[in-house]
A and B are shown apart, each in its own frame.
Chain A
């Protein structure tokens, strides 16, 4: 596939926002450390930052549409379309995050319950976002439960790293624990992503030129695709880069999304103090790495329609 930058930004930005919200919920529920009395401001800021990421992601997604003014129509087909479900759940989740922050700000009683609802929506959103790709069964690189695992873990890893940076700035007492969680999630995400790399390297395309045109002969060569110039079919489904570039991006994202942030977070967690600059660098590096990861995710997927577009003349 030809990576669409609007979708790359959408999925990575909302992933980080969702992960950050889950980090806040992990603290609120007592799984991580114990919030001090002054932590309320940290939660409100966390909700605001998470919301900023979600909004930016949603804005990015509009650039993918030919008719963004009709985007509201996309809520119609929630019964069968994962994209429609995503279009519904994302704004609802954003509203709940905003409400959670507002409740904390005004001292409204039900912040905890709203937070739990948000966490449920957040996990549902990871699943729905990934299912957009998993459900396309002939994009074999995507059609695996590992895609769901990766979207969830990569979002959580970057979100927890972001939470670590935010804590380093506002609640330093929380930062070491969050840093250790971010490190663990980064390592977990790395192993899941490597598992999917290994799986995809072994894939054999189900479709062949033989099945595409229905001839069993072992030697078939396309001589003409029907037009001399380009077309939607030649632009949308292939990245147009060399193998070396794609391989370079793969090693790049492994380094930037996993190795570098893990080293920085690991160093921070040994001496018990996480510096703001260290955690910030870890997040920015990881986010850039995830942009590369998502580019590779698209580029690696081989669309069977490309079988029909191999020779211009």
Chain B
């Protein structure tokens, strides 16, 4: 069984939002119709996005880390959003484990969004159907594209290669190795949704071997100690 997933390396993400804009560009231009933007140039713009990059500050000044945190549908292996759907519009595709929505069957009741603890489903304000990340099904299944292009738009756009894409059920895939070797973890494990997408935890600054951090370490050795290496949940 295949389970496609993204693995997002929080060490490498710089919070540039290229994944957000490339996602929006690709998915608003496809056959499934536009992702609505309401009032885009007004005081309170509101739009449908499959992917958001959030920013968190971890620690207390001066020992803080800025964590950029991209979040999209995690394509859970046990998705709570799917069994609640009354029409069968939300489904988990057996062939590759993607959680998808049939826009023609969706009645826009919002119930699946209530059933998602991660807040990744958004009702499109114009089309009045639920939308979310499709892992760019129309790219990855498009046999007219070159192999290296058959990846989600966000993965191709990431300038720092923070987003890996592959089959987490294949132990030799790039994503399985990344999870195994870097302590990849899932979000909100307490709900046992088994998200397919994983995140690679931040390593402590002292463990990152680059010139910048070495210089800083020499100057302020004590202050950097407090940076917290996140443990696996």
- For A139, the chain B residues whose CB sits under 8 A away are 114
Which residues of chain B have a CB within 8 Å of any CB of chain A?
A: 17, 20, 39, 44-49, 52-60, 66-67, 69, 71, 80, 83-89, 105-111, 113-119, 121-123, 125, 127-129, 185-191, 199, 201-202, 228, 230-231, 233
Chain B residue numbers with a CB within 8 Å of A73 are 86-89, 105, 107
Contact, CB under 8 Å: B123 / A232: yes
- Whether a CB of chain B sits under 8 angstroms from the CB of A264 is no
Q: Which of chain B's residues has its CB closest to A80's CB?
A: B83
15 A-B contacts (beta carbon < 8 Å): A66-B107, A66-B128, A71-B107, A76-B87, A77-B88, A81-B85, A83-B111, A138-B80, A139-B114, A215-B58, A220-B58, A222-B56, A226-B54, A227-B52, A303-B119
Q: Are A213 and B69 interface neighbours, CB within 8 A?
A: yes
Given contacts A67-B107, A71-B107, 9 further A-B contacts (CB under 8 A): A70-B87, A137-B191, A213-B56, A213-B69, A221-B57, A222-B57, A227-B47, A236-B110, A236-B113
Nearest chain-A residue to B54 (Cβ)? A226
From known contacts A74-B107, A77-B88, A220-B58, infer whether A226 and B52 are also in contact, taking CB-CB under 8 Å: yes
Q: Residue A212 at the B interface, CB < 8 A?
A: yes
Decide yes or no whether A35 CB sits under 8 A from chain B. Answer: no
Cβ B84 vs Cβ A237 within 8 A: no
Among B55, B83, B86, B188, which residue has its beta carbon within 8 angstroms of that of A211?
B188
Within 8 A of B (CB), among A169-223: 206-207, 209, 211-217, 219-223
Partner of B107, one of A70, A213, A305: A70
Minimum CB–CB distance from A215 to chain B (whole Å) comes to: 4
Q: Chain B's interface: helix, strand, loop or mixed, by majority?
A: loop
Range for the number of chain A residues in contact with chain B: 35 or more
> Do residues A236 and B87 form an inter-chain contact, with CB atoms below 8 A?
no
Q: In whole angstroms, how far apart are the Cα atoms of A97 and B107 in the complex?
A: 28
Q: Top 7 closest A-B pairs, CB basis?
A: A66-B108, A305-B119, A66-B128, A226-B52, A84-B86, A74-B86, A73-B87
A65 interface residue (CB < 8 Å to B)? yes
- List A residues 31-47 near B (Cβ within 8 Å): none
Q: How many Å lie between the Cα of A207 and that of B128 in the bound state?
A: 30
Residue pair A138, B117 in contact (C-beta under 8 Å): yes
Are A70 and B189 in contact (CB-based, < 8 A)? no
